């Protein structure tokens, strides 16, 4: 058992192409898959991608007949905290991520940028730590 505290809020997303989403989120943003439960074909039943002491859960969008929670694809916005925003921005750009708000210092403190994943979710990365 880890001494690291477990996150108490965990976002969950659906993707039309979950295997491609996992590869993109790992390569462009550095989220690390810790659990991937495959289904038939290219379906991902459930996946967990670690970020700091938290994670993002995701899975393939299915027809709903399997008891999945109904969700849409691409309308989410997540904020992920990190220290070296400039290096992370450079990694995302090098991986071909679509930057929707360039790297900048925020009036309320911190530094950050926003990128969109291939299925339309907005990923905000910044050094601002809400109290």
Which of left, alpha, beta for 121 (phi over 0: left; psi -120 to 50: alpha)? Answer: beta
Residue 97 phi/psi, 5° resolution? -65, 145
- The full set of domains in the chain, from first to last, is 12-126 (3.10.180.10)
Neighbours of 24 (CB within 10 A): 19
For 116, list phi and psi in degrees, rounded to 5.
-110, 135
Contact 116, 124 (CB under 8 A): no
pLDDT tens-place values along the chain, 131 residues long: 456 677 789 999 999 999 999 999 999 999 999 999 999 889 999 999 999 999 999 999 987 666 677 788 999 999 999 999 999 999 999 999 999 999 999 999 999 999 999 999 999 999 999 98
Token pair belonging to 118 = 């291939």
Strands (E), 52-121: 54-60, 77-81, 98-105, 111-116
């Amino acid at each position: 058992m880890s001494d690291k505290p477990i996150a108490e809020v965990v976002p969950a997303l659906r993707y039309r192409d979950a295997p491609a989403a996992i590869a993109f989120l790992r390569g462009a943003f550095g989220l690390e898959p810790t659990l991937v439960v495959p289904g038939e074909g290219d379906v991902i039943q459930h996946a967990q991608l670690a970020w700091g002491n938290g994670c993002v859960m995701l899975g393939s969008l299915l027809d709903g007949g399997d008891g999945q929670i109904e969700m849409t694809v691409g309308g989410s916005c997540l904020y992920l905290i990190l220290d070296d925003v400039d290096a992370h921005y450079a990694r995302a750009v090098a991986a071909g991520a679509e930057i929707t708000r360039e790297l900048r210092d925020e009036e309320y403190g911190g530094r950050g940028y926003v990128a969109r994943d291939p299925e339309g979710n907005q990923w905000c990365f910044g050094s601002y730590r809400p109290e």
